[in-house]
Amino acid sequence: MRMLTGIVIDALDVAGMSRFWRDATRGRTGGLALRCVPASEPKPAHKNRLHLDLAGGVDWKAEVARLLALGARRVDIGQGDVPWDVLADPEGNEFCVLRPGHPGVRADSGLAAICLDVAERDRYAQSAFWQSQAGWHAVDYHDWGVRLREKPTSRVSLVMGPPAAPKAGRNRLRLEVTQRDWEPGEFHDAGGNEFHVRG
């Protein structure tokens, strides 16, 4: 059995980051575990290839203010004028707060999507890879990429599409899957992104 079961986050302050993400998502992660593990170095300056999207709900301005009070900060990654807010957690990992009406959002708070940078030419290969490894299924194909869900009604989706940040070192955030037929460890997907396997 193969299943996407969580996200691994490198952290200098494991307890603090675990607390931040628990509070930031209000514990609403669609059954996925957000697991912080010790890191020896701070996050590099470049944008992460994997980031999380949180649902802002109707009162998204208040939700952004709540996240800032928890220790998040606003960041500019060159997004320009977009209908969502780009923040970073206390250790600099980017995440987005989505406003009502954003495509694919099925919740008013908590984790709404996991976003993996994929080059346009690689999106179908990555989609096929993650459908086979995660047990999730494609529900949308668009110019911006591919969206997978565990079930058609699942609140959290895995979104893959361009632009792809350059691969510069080990990814700070990584997907984690449970697979009974693989040895536990760290592997690479079709785009060279690290992911964890738990037996």
CATH code for the domain in which residue 97 is found = 3.10.180.10
Q: Distances from the Cα of 123 to the Cαs of 142, 147, 160, 162, in angstroms? A: 10, 10, 7, 8
Q: What is the pLDDT of residue 1?
A: 64
Q: What is the pLDDT of residues 62-79, one digit of tens each?
A: 999 999 999 999 998 887
| Confidence bin at 25 (pLDDT 50/70/90) | very high
pLDDT above 70 covers what percent of the chain? 99
CA distance 158 to 153: 13
4 closest CA partner among 125, 127, 130: 130
* pTM listed for this prediction: 0.94
The domain tally of the chain equals 1
> Which band of pLDDT confidence, cut at 50, 70 and 90, is reported for residue 163?
confident
Q: How many CB atoms lie within 10 A of CB 85?
A: 22
Residue 141 has pLDDT above 90, yes or no: no
Please give the pLDDT value at position 160. Answer: 94
Higher local confidence (pLDDT), 162 or 96: 96
**pLDDT higher than threshold 90 for residue 167:** no
* Angle at the Cα of 154 from the Cα atoms of 161 and 72, rounded to 5 degrees: 65
Reply yes or no on whether the pLDDT at 170 is more than 80. Answer: yes
Distance CA 119, CA 132 (A): 19
Give the least confident one: 21-30, 45-54, 82-91, 165-174.
165-174
pLDDT at 111 over 80: yes
Residue the block writes with tokens 């693989």:
182
How many percent of the chain have pLDDT more than 90?
Answer: 73
Range of the domain at 178: 2-198
